Structure 1
Amino acid sequence: MKILDWIESAFSAVFFLAGIAISLYSVFMRYIMESSQSWATEIYTMLLVWAIFIGFSTALREDKHIAIDVLYDRFGPTMKRVSQVIILLIGIAFSIFIIWTGMDMVTTAYAQGIKTIDVGFPIWINYLIMPIAGTLLFIRFCEKAYRFFVMKEEVVSGGDAEWKQL
């Protein structure tokens, strides 16, 4: 899992920084040099979307996702465990849905041969982030389920959620 952690972080950072660099280049060229670079919008949008979608898995790994814990904080230990099981099941189902829907988008775009307007880049490559992100989320939810069920750990909510041994 440490290798996957490193790969996620590295790719997310590279895509994000490259997207920001191209965006700044585009702004510089448009407003300082008065020469619009239409290709830049397509490229930096794709890079930022990829960085964000990979970041979903990173956020789940580090428990940095949005949590509404108004009710959770009032639950007893049994209800907290039940809610965690429900959250894990919904997360795994959502991940499978993202993988399935993403693969449908990729295969449809590939079959239709759709390309981006300015660069002529195959759009199916842009859509490939959906099944990749879904797979990363699936892995992370399975990792959390393993820790919860096999290692008998429980998520303790309160600001930054942490795994805590029972």
Structure 2
Amino acid sequence: MNWLIDLIELVAAGFVGIVAADIFISVMLRYFFSVQIPDAYDFGRLLLGILIFWGIAATSYRGTHITVDLLYANVGPKLQRFIDVFATLVLLFVVTVQTYTLYDKVWTTKADHVLTFDLRLPTWPFFLVAWLGDASAVLLIAIRTYRLIFQPDEFGTKYQIKPVE
């Protein structure tokens, strides 16, 4: 299962590189040669959407997204684990609903024949790739939830109660 997690994180990292290259090349061509890539704006916004959904997948499993630790830092390991399981279940529900609605968006975009401005390329493949990132997030959050409940040792010594000395 770890190879799948690593693959999804690698794909997310690849999209970071693609978005950075798109922005860098567009700016350099405009600044030095007064040339604009056709549909650069459309590609930029569509690729950024893809990056966001694959980024959700990459950060959700590791638990490296933004957190507020005011309560969490002041409770014991058992309650911390309970909070983690509860928060991950809520995240799983929210991202599952989001994935369902994005799936609908992919097919309505295809049915409506939405195209880019300059090259008149269909936009639905970009939405499909974004949906795959969102579906990957659901899979990784489900794996995280399972491991938090049944294999907490996968997350190191975080939940072990330390003896009082």
Short-chain TM bin: 0.7 to 0.9
Residue in 1 that maps onto 2:104 = 104
Letter in 1 for 2:96: I
- 1:114 aligned onto 2:114: yes
Question: Equivalent residues in 2 for 1:15-164 (5 A)?
Answer: 15-151=15-151, 153=152, 162-164=155-157
Distance 2:83 2:41 in 1: 42
**Does structure 2 retain, via aligned residues, the 8 Å contact 1:16–1:47?**
no
Shift of residue 93 of structure 1? 0.4
Could you list the runs of 4 or more consecutive aligned residues of structure 1 that deviate by over 6 angstroms after TM superposition? none
Q: TM-score when scaled to structure 2?
A: 0.81
**Does structure 2 retain, via aligned residues, the 8 Å contact 1:26–1:36?**
yes
Larger RCO (alpha carbons 8 Å, 6+ apart)? 2
Distance 1:56 1:37 in 2: 28
Letter in 2 for 1:142: A
Instruction: Point out the structure with the larger strand share.
Output: 1
Shift of residue 90 of structure 1? 0.5
Residue in 2 that maps onto 1:158 = none
For residues 78-122 of structure 1, give each alpha carbon's deviation from its aligned partner in whole angstroms, at most 9, with x where no partner exists.
Answer: 533432232122111012111111111111111111112123222
Q: CA 1:140/1:9 → structure 2, altered by over 3 Å: closer, same or farther?
A: closer
The runs of 5 or more residues in structure 1 that have no matched partner are: 156-161
**Share of identical aligned residues, percent?**
23
Q: TM-score when scaled to structure 1?
A: 0.80
SS, match of residue 39 in structure 2: helix
Letter in 1 for 2:66: I
Aligned length: 159
**Does structure 1 retain, via aligned residues, the 8 Å contact 2:19–2:48?**
yes
Residue in 1 that maps onto 2:163 = none
Distance 1:35 1:64 in 2: 39
Letter in 1 for 2:22: I
Q: CA 1:88/1:16 → structure 2, altered by over 3 Å: closer, same or farther?
A: closer
Q: In terms of mean alpha carbon deviation, does 66-75 or 130-139 score higher?
A: 130-139
SS, match of residue 33 in structure 2: coil
**Does structure 2 retain, via aligned residues, the 8 Å contact 1:106–1:128?**
yes
Distance 2:18 2:141 in 1: 29
Distance 1:77 1:55 in 2: 28
SS, match of residue 121 in structure 2: coil
